[in-house]
A and B are shown apart, each in its own frame.
Chain A
Amino acid sequence: MNAESPVTAAVPVPTAQNRARRVWAYFLPIAFFAVLIWFFYKGLFLNPREVPSPLIGRPVPQFSLAQLHAPQQKFTPTDMKGQVWLLNVWGSWCVACRYEHPFLNELAKQQIVPVIGLNWKDEPSVAKAWLTKYGDPYRLSVSDLDGRVAIDWGVYGAPETFVVDKAGTIRHKLTGPIDAKILNETLLPMIRELKAR
């Protein structure tokens, strides 16, 4: 083709309106794309396993269960009235519980807060052996043999930890194992604040 052919003359002369329209035509898809990317980026850091509990801010679901180490004695959450306490859902079959166990042991050693263990669908003898082996940080554990109490508490995995205030209201729920970061940044400040009230 002849290099001098004035093909460029076929392009219509851009008017102000035309230019504005063209800017929009470029800008809109890019803006749309940017918003989409922002959502996707945010989504990368969300944890779909963390289902918000509707029980936060509600009184604890009541139960009466046999204690793991003294089956003839019952425990009910009203026994803890007037204290800030934790309910920790655990089982000897639960691998992640073993991970968080040292942190609970430390919590018990420093006597910061009483922890009640909800031994979820476990064989009591195995559970007791497990505590002997890894240490028993619980003031006491109760045996939820058929998992009914766990359902009332909205438990869907172990470990889970509930923070209960003096009035017996659930203040916080942790799903998954406690680690140093959660302990120092979430649990301890919250417990301190609830105790001060």
Chain B
Amino acid sequence: MNTDKLNTNLTNSPIGAPFQPFLAGKERWVRSLTLCVSVFICGFASLSSHAQVPTPQMPLPSPELAKRLKVLESELRCLVCQNETLAESPAGLASDLRREVRSLVEQGKTDAEIKSYLQARYGDFVLYRPPVVTKTYLLWFGPFGLLIVAGLSAWWVTRRRVAMPSTTTRVPETDSQQRARQLLESDDRVVEGNHK
């Protein structure tokens, strides 16, 4: 966890502003903020103390390697925080997998090989973009199917409307219908008149 990032996040926090008037002076405000930040950091520190064995720091990757890793990691899912990619996730497993991906890249493996390496262990779920297999046809083509159905039914409905214009113009008005229409129209006028 990056502590600098935490600091700035807290000081820029919009929550900060409304709390300020309740505190006596600026100094007290700063002090309580510092307390908050340190509690936060301690919390995270104690969490990461669970991270058992310290992993040896690897040298920073070269720019092109970093770029490739970034692309690769954003196409792989972290299995702990399931809606995050490997690149985004702060989970311990994600960092292990990032290390694994990096060592595979450094061994000269292609992206496809690395993906199938992880797929063999964690299944298709590890891929952010699901593969096109029988099981996922509905997922991949379902929306297009729905679009076609919607388009066809829209076409069908409009064609019917055009072919068969509204019944009132085609069927001659009966006496009672005419009377009803006249009554309705006169009613309208009365209502409008009342408002004026």
Contact = CB atoms under 8 A, between A and B. Distances in A.
A70 B187 CA distance: 98
Interface string A143-154: 001111011111
A5 B179 contact: yes
Interface residues of A, number: 31
B176 A6 contact: yes
Contacts of A150: 96
Interface string B78-98: 011010000000001100110
Interface in B32-86: 50-53, 55, 79-80, 82
B167 A12 contact: yes
Contacts of A76: none
A6 B121 contact: no
Interface in B161-182: 167-168, 171, 174, 176-177, 179-181
Contact of A157 (B52, B80, B167, B179): B80
A55 interface: yes
B50 A146 contact: no
A189 B131 CA distance: 35
Interface stretch (A45-53, A77-85, A179-187): A45-53
The binding surface of chain B is classed by DSSP as helix
Contacts of B177: 9-10
Interface in A29-63: 48-49, 51-55
B146 to A, nearest CB: 11
B128 to A, nearest CB: 14
A115 B50 CA distance: 24
Contact of A121 (B53, B119, B121): B53
A56 to B, nearest CB: 10
Given A7-B180, A10-B177, 8 more contacts: A5-B183, A12-B167, A49-B82, A145-B53, A147-B93, A148-B100, A152-B121, A156-B122
